Amino acid sequence: MKHILLIATGGTIACAKTQDGLAPALSPGQLLGRVPDARSFCQVDAVQPLNLDSTNINPSHWLLLAKLIEENYSRYDGFVLCHGTDTLAYSAAALSYLIQNTGKPIVLTGAQKPIDQEDTDARQNLLDSLRYACHQDSGVCIVFGSHVIAGTRAKKTRTKSYNAFSSINFPDIAEVRDRRVVRFIPWEHQGPPQFTHSLNTRVMVLKLTPGLPPEAFASAGALCDGLIIESYGVGGIPDTYLFQLDALARAGKTVVLATQVPQEGSDLSVYQVGQRVKERYRLLEPYDMTLESTVTKLMWVLGQTQDGEEIRRLFYTPVNYDLLF
């Protein structure tokens, strides 16, 4: 029988009603008590390093979770993390960079309704996740609403429905149907897992809106080493901000020109407003990567190196299906 470590971190799945609204309350033992069927196919140990609404999750928690998995890696066949849905896609992407090439499944899940509610999706999601963690296919992924999504490709696209997550610019990697895992994308696993232990959290996103004050660039630049500008369509920079880009380049900031359109990604080569800045400032672009992956990958890359060429190389090296270009 497979041996799984359940890592509970809070979120709606573990929430109970309070006078001020839902708040995480249940212990991992209580969560497991709601899915007794799991006992028939796996043996589960459980820990609870955090008990947070995932609104409160930050990069220090990603490092803590990665370390916990590293310390327990040899003892278990797979890992299931229960996590709030609001920042789950960021955590899944961050863990995809911090734990690369994992030959053991690392599954993140959550729910739209607390596990004790009658019409909850939590019991199914938890059971599906434990089942998937027992499967031989590996990597960091999200199991939610019977979809299995690569950890770098998920986005929360619905705030209330049970199918809260979509796989962006990439197919689901598998599905849990009844009690079986149907895999669509083969897992390519080469060599031992690689754990990294640092992130540069000085990464920010600046979303362009028509008329955004130019001073926003200098303010954001002062607070970060890596700036992701979420521009429009396939990507471009309005004429009024070119001076601001000059200043960011002179200050040695790493600038990524992304798109705020969720599907199909960037291509700065298409329009003059994109091409002229990409060449002049050696901007990076995410192509088909999600914003969640772009943010966490940049934190991971800038945590490894400050060398411009190495930053480019690492940023454009695909990890856990994040980039197809």
296 is catalytic: no
Instruction: Residue 214: count other Cβ atoms within 10 Å of its Cβ.
Output: 13
Our finding on whether 145 is near ligand ASP (CB under 6 A) is: no
| Min separation Cβ 120 and ligand ASP, Å | 11
Nearest to ligand ASP of 112, 259 (CB atom) = 112
Position among 48, 91, 96, 112 found at the interface with ligand ASP (CB under 6 A): 112
Please give the size of the binding site for ligand ASP, defined by CB under 6 A.
10
Give the burial class of 251: count Cβ atoms within 10 A of its Cβ; 0-12 exposed, 13-18 middle, 19 or more buried. exposed
| Min separation Cβ 219 and ligand ASP, Å | 28
Check: CB of residue 224 under 8 Å from CB of residue 217: no
Span 21-80, contacts to ligand ASP by CB under 6 A: 53-55
| Min separation Cβ 233 and ligand ASP, Å | 30
Strands 154-156 and 105-109: unpaired
Give the integer Cα–Cα distance in Å for 132 and 41. 11
Q: Cα separations (Å) of 213 from 9, 18, 20, 68, 283?
A: 39, 42, 37, 43, 21
The residue nearest ligand ASP at its CB is 84
Check: CB of residue 278 under 8 Å from CB of residue 236: no
Nearest to ligand ASP of 89, 168 (CB atom) = 89
Our finding on whether 128 is near ligand ASP (CB under 6 A) is: no
Give the burial class of 276: count Cβ atoms within 10 A of its Cβ; 0-12 exposed, 13-18 middle, 19 or more buried. middle
Our finding on whether 124 is near ligand ASP (CB under 6 A) is: no
Catalytic residue (one of 12, 85, 102, 120)? 12
Q: Which residues bind ligand ASP (CB under 6 A)?
A: 11-12, 53-55, 84-86, 110, 112
Catalytic residues: 12
